[in-house]
Chain A
Amino acid sequence: MAEPRLIEISPVTRVEGHGKVTIHLNRDNEVEEARLHVVEFRGFERFIHGRFYWEVPVIVQRLCGICPVSHHLAGAKAMDQIAGVDVLPPTAEKMRRLMHYGQVMQSHVLHFFHLAAPDLLFGFEAPAARRNIFEILREQPELGRRAVLMRQFGQEIIEATAGKKIHGTGAIPGGINRNLPIDVRDRLLARIGEMTAWAQEALAIARNYTLDHAALVADFGSFPSNHMSLVREGDGALDLYHGRLRAIDAEGGSLFDGVDYCDYHKLLVEDVRSWSYMKFPFIRELGPESGWYRVGPLSRMNTARFIDTPLANAAHRELRAVTGGAPNNATLASHWARMIEVVHCVEKIHALLIDPDLQGTDLVATGERRCEGIGVIEAPRGNLIHHYRVDENDQITFCNLIVSTTHNNEGMNRAVKDVAVKHLSGREKITEGMLNQVEVAIRAYDPCLSCATHALGQMPLAVELLDASGQLVDRATRGA
């Protein structure tokens, strides 16, 4: 067998695989600030200039190895508007939804079993050698096997709808380029019962963990914040593919609701800070200090009024009951939220698979060309905004993306600071256990920096401790 090779892709700065955290101490050695430095997307927004609009859904998915489908679909939704299409043929919309539910399901399962479960099952302070999926496979082989098969199921759905497991080309401006053949449908349907059962078992693990460790969950990286997501137009149900923007404050009060996402830039401002490539969006009306918000599975549980599939809805009510119906602000409860969405996705997938519209042949709608398009979707990690302008020659002249990790930027920084204050203040050494704590806080947001290459094992992480004068006191790294 050939030696493993390292392939270097330049410029390295754009594919930085390390999460880097700097923790700043004040003169009394207390934590003053904690900053998380993450990947940036600016380069992409530039190089798409001049490309043709129908290439966008295919090009943008290359942004990410874990959730390419989300970018593919958000890009396609924006291009629907460019193509002048507001309503897709039912077959197209349903094929895209199927693709999306398959994607969210497999992404959540990956996150839960491969990245989070080792922490949850073996404890944050467990030795690094134990905190990985292989240990799960060894200790609980049946659970590990199901994790692998559930992911595979999600990927097969993506393949059936997008053409390939990663980086497919299913969605095109105004529609989709294929329908679902009966034989593929039947193959998937044959496994849906099993998937439903396993999803509920995974949900039970996450739920029990959250309830059994109520004190830790309530305390760990937990802080009040605003929450934002799409919800279904009209009734405010959870909708991962399409809807209107809704934001609530930490007590559940409405900040905005029923907003057409094409107006996102009227509501949100993207703040720039000198030390980070990533922007810090906030709600305009509230200002940068109190206008930041979170997105993602937990935020969606908070913004959605209900879930339109029965199993997930029952679970949603149970989660909401923990906080007496008020928003749940405990970062670690995201795992529970994520598994509720897995159940929801499986229920949705089931409903779509038995829908004859998926065998329809009306795949693409056309309309009058427009010069601006905005596509918004609820990606596995949260709200995702794609915004483009196109000139009369069909070439892109403007692109702005707000990815989930960017929405969560402030929230992640606060979560890291929270952990740092509780566990680092007064100490000048970074221990392995502390490193894990920081990592768990970041990981609860499932940020894109835990990129596909590093999905197995640990997030490559560097934590630097700086004193009041900016001098490096300690540094700890690990991972690839």
Chain B
Amino acid sequence: MTDKDFTFTIDGASVTAQPGQTIMEAADAAGIYIPRLCDHEGLRHQGSCRVCTVKAAGRSVAACTQPAAPGLVVESETPHIQAMRKSLVEMLFHEGNHICPVCEASGNCELQAMAYRLGMVEPTKLPYLEPTRPVDASHPGIALDTNRCISCGRCIRASEDVDHKGVFGYCGRGIHRRITVNGEDLAHTDAAVSDHAISGGVCPVGCIIVKRVGFRLPIGARAFDRQIIGEAIEEKRR
């Protein structure tokens, strides 16, 4: 702890933070997991999915973008906040086309893992929107199944900031906002399998696919088959 460091609380636990750290960064370092989907290690924060919502001094804020402050009182795992996070995740399922049993991301998918963590165990009353969304398989090594995209924008930031390519972008507005590529199709971009945006584990779901890998890693031996999402962070506290 340096003399500039300060403390605040999350669900009553004292957390040490450095100036400039977000609530989530400080929580991670302290071994407190705050659920998230659009935030990803090594990428700039975006604050769009709101799954990381916490109450800070009574106000709802995104923990991934909100700076920590001395003495701040943060609530995270309250029944109300957990229920809201679960609803957000449920809506993501209803808004796209997610058929986990036949999806090659199953077991490695952060959306699915988040649903398990938040206890989404039964169908909700929301209507399934069943949108018609494109599959772009034009690239020899990469495919994009946008049925499963949750518009987290992680690929956009990875391609721009890490790969310096800008392969991905958004089109449309509001609920119609969709991921797209900067070209006629993926084959007409400079996307490469080795890109961080493609092979860096950036896409949280089964939208960006490296072709012909599929089910090589057995179901049961995958990331979230072994550990529930967030456990790696929580282990630091034990």
A contacts, CB < 8 Å to B: 50, 52, 54-55, 57-59, 62, 83, 163-164, 167-170, 172-173, 177-178, 364, 393-395
A329 to chain B, nearest CB (A): 40
Do A394 and B219 have beta carbons less than 8 Å apart?
A: no
Q: For residue B218, which residues in chain A have a CB less than 8 angstroms away from its CB?
A: 163, 169-170, 177-178
Q: Given A164-B219, A393-B137, A395-B135: A54 and B101 within 8 A (CB)? A: no
A43 to chain B, nearest CB (A): 15
Q: For residue A52, which residues in chain B have a CB less than 8 angstroms away from its CB?
A: 137, 143, 209, 211, 214
B225 to chain A, nearest CB (A): 10
A172 to chain B, nearest CB (A): 5
Do A394 and B137 have beta carbons less than 8 Å apart?
A: yes
Do A55 and B102 have beta carbons less than 8 Å apart?
A: yes
Q: For residue B101, which residues in chain A have a CB less than 8 angstroms away from its CB?
A: 58, 62, 167
Interface of A, helix, strand, loop or mixed by DSSP: loop
Q: For residue B219, which residues in chain A have a CB less than 8 angstroms away from its CB?
A: 163-164, 168-169
Do A364 and B216 have beta carbons less than 8 Å apart?
A: yes
Do A395 and B137 have beta carbons less than 8 Å apart?
A: yes
Task: Pull 9 A–B residue pairs with CB atoms less than 8 Å apart, ordered by A.
Answer: A50-B135, A52-B143, A54-B212, A58-B215, A59-B102, A164-B219, A172-B215, A173-B214, A177-B216
Closest to A61 in B: B102
**Most B CB within 10 A of own CB, among A52, A167, A169, A395:** A169
Do A169 and B137 have beta carbons less than 8 Å apart?
A: no
Count CB-based A-B contacts (< 8 Å): 55
Q: For residue A57, which residues in chain B have a CB less than 8 angstroms away from its CB?
A: 215
Do A394 and B102 have beta carbons less than 8 Å apart?
A: no
B 184-218 to A, binary, CB cutoff 8 A, 1 in contact else 0? 00000000000000000000000001011111111
Q: A58, A169, A393: which contacts B138 (Cβ < 8 A)?
A: A393
Q: Which 5 residue pairs spanning A and B have beta carbons closest together?
A: A54-B214, A393-B137, A169-B215, A59-B102, A177-B218
Q: For residue A393, which residues in chain B have a CB less than 8 angstroms away from its CB?
A: 137-138, 143
Closest to A178 in B: B218
Number of chain B interface residues as a range = 10 to 19
Do A172 and B216 have beta carbons less than 8 Å apart?
A: yes
Q: Given A163-B220, A170-B218: A394 and B138 within 8 A (CB)? A: no
Q: For residue A50, which residues in chain B have a CB less than 8 angstroms away from its CB?
A: 135
Q: For residue B213, which residues in chain A have a CB less than 8 angstroms away from its CB?
A: 54
Cα separation A50 to B209 with both chains bound (whole Å):
15
Q: For residue B215, which residues in chain A have a CB less than 8 angstroms away from its CB?
A: 54, 57-58, 169, 172, 177
Q: Does B104 contact A (CB under 8 A)?
A: yes
B59 to chain A, nearest CB (A): 39
A60 to chain B, nearest CB (A): 9
B contacts, CB < 8 Å to A: 101-102, 104, 135, 137-138, 143, 209, 211-220
Q: For residue B216, which residues in chain A have a CB less than 8 angstroms away from its CB?
A: 172, 177, 364
Q: For residue B137, which residues in chain A have a CB less than 8 angstroms away from its CB?
A: 52, 393-395
Cα separation A275 to B220 with both chains bound (whole Å):
45
Do B135 and A54 have beta carbons less than 8 Å apart?
A: no
Cα separation A20 to B22 with both chains bound (whole Å):
65
Closest to A364 in B: B216
B167 to chain A, nearest CB (A): 18
Cα separation A54 to B215 with both chains bound (whole Å):
8
Q: A62, A172, A178: which contacts B102 (Cβ < 8 A)?
A: A62
Closest to B143 in A: A52
Do B217 and A54 have beta carbons less than 8 Å apart?
A: no
A111 to chain B, nearest CB (A): 25
Cα separation A36 to B235 with both chains bound (whole Å):
60
Cα separation A62 to B214 with both chains bound (whole Å):
17
Cα separation A59 to B99 with both chains bound (whole Å):
10
Do A172 and B143 have beta carbons less than 8 Å apart?
A: no
Cα separation A60 to B214 with both chains bound (whole Å):
15
A75 to chain B, nearest CB (A): 12
A84 to chain B, nearest CB (A): 11
Cα separation A169 to B212 with both chains bound (whole Å):
15
A96 to chain B, nearest CB (A): 14
Cα separation A177 to B219 with both chains bound (whole Å):
9
B213 to chain A, nearest CB (A): 8
B5 to chain A, nearest CB (A): 47
**Most B CB within 10 A of own CB, among A58, A164, A168, A395:** A58
Q: For residue A163, which residues in chain B have a CB less than 8 angstroms away from its CB?
A: 218-220
Do A55 and B138 have beta carbons less than 8 Å apart?
A: no
Q: Given A169-B218, A393-B137, A393-B138: A55 and B212 within 8 A (CB)? A: no
Cα separation A358 to B154 with both chains bound (whole Å):
41
Q: For residue B214, which residues in chain A have a CB less than 8 angstroms away from its CB?
A: 52, 54-55, 172-173
Cα separation A172 to B214 with both chains bound (whole Å):
8
Do A55 and B135 have beta carbons less than 8 Å apart?
A: no
A367 to chain B, nearest CB (A): 12
B127 to chain A, nearest CB (A): 14
Q: A168, A177, A364, A394: which contacts B211 (Cβ < 8 A)?
A: A394
Do A394 and B143 have beta carbons less than 8 Å apart?
A: yes
Known: A55-B214, A58-B104, A170-B218. 16 other contacts (CB 8 A): A50-B135, A52-B209, A54-B104, A55-B102, A58-B102, A59-B102, A62-B101, A163-B219, A164-B220, A169-B219, A172-B214, A173-B214, A364-B216, A393-B143, A394-B137, A394-B143
Q: For residue A54, which residues in chain B have a CB less than 8 angstroms away from its CB?
A: 104, 211-215
Q: For residue A168, which residues in chain B have a CB less than 8 angstroms away from its CB?
A: 219
Q: For residue B143, which residues in chain A have a CB less than 8 angstroms away from its CB?
A: 52, 393-394
Do B135 and A394 have beta carbons less than 8 Å apart?
A: no
Q: For residue B102, which residues in chain A have a CB less than 8 angstroms away from its CB?
A: 55, 58-59, 62
Cα separation A83 to B211 with both chains bound (whole Å):
12
Cα separation A169 to B137 with both chains bound (whole Å):
23
Q: For residue A83, which residues in chain B have a CB less than 8 angstroms away from its CB?
A: 212
Cα separation A276 to B236 with both chains bound (whole Å):
63
B138 to chain A, nearest CB (A): 6
**Most A CB within 10 A of own CB, among B101, B212, B217:** B212
Cα separation A83 to B216 with both chains bound (whole Å):
14
Q: For residue A178, which residues in chain B have a CB less than 8 angstroms away from its CB?
A: 218
Cα separation A169 to B106 with both chains bound (whole Å):
11
